[in-house]
Amino acid sequence: MSGKCNLCEETYTKSGMTRHVKSCIKKNYLQKIKTEDIEKFISIAKN
Ligand SMILES: [Zn+2]
């Protein structure tokens, strides 16, 4: 299972995604976005 980060368009494994998105958001949006909103920026492949 893998997912795509909607912030930087990179693809990561599901477990790697959670860690990546937190740092990616800080990089791309600084801290405008709350941690709870992170899932909105993750699109996990269904298959
Ligand atoms: Zn990213």
Ligand 1 centroid to 34 CA: how many Å? 16
Structural domain of residue 18, as residue ranges? 2-44
Query: Measured in angstroms, how far is the CA atom of residue 22 from the centroid of ligand 1?
Result: 8
- 41: amino acid identity, one letter: F
Centroid of ligand 1 to alpha carbon of 1 (angstroms): 17
The tokens for 5 are 């980060």
The per-residue pLDDT for 21 is: 86
Provide the pLDDT confidence category of residue 45 given band limits of 50, 70 and 90.
Answer: low
């405008």: which residue's tokens? Answer: 32
- Domain count along the chain: 1
**Which run of H or E residues covers position 23?**
helix 14-29
Please give the distance, rounded to the nearest whole angstrom, from the Cα atom of residue 45 to the centre of ligand 1.
15
How much is the pLDDT for 44? 66
The predicted structure's pLDDT at residue 15: 87
Q: pLDDT tens, 15-42?
A: 898 899 888 887 776 555 555 566 676 6
Residue 37: predicted pLDDT: 64
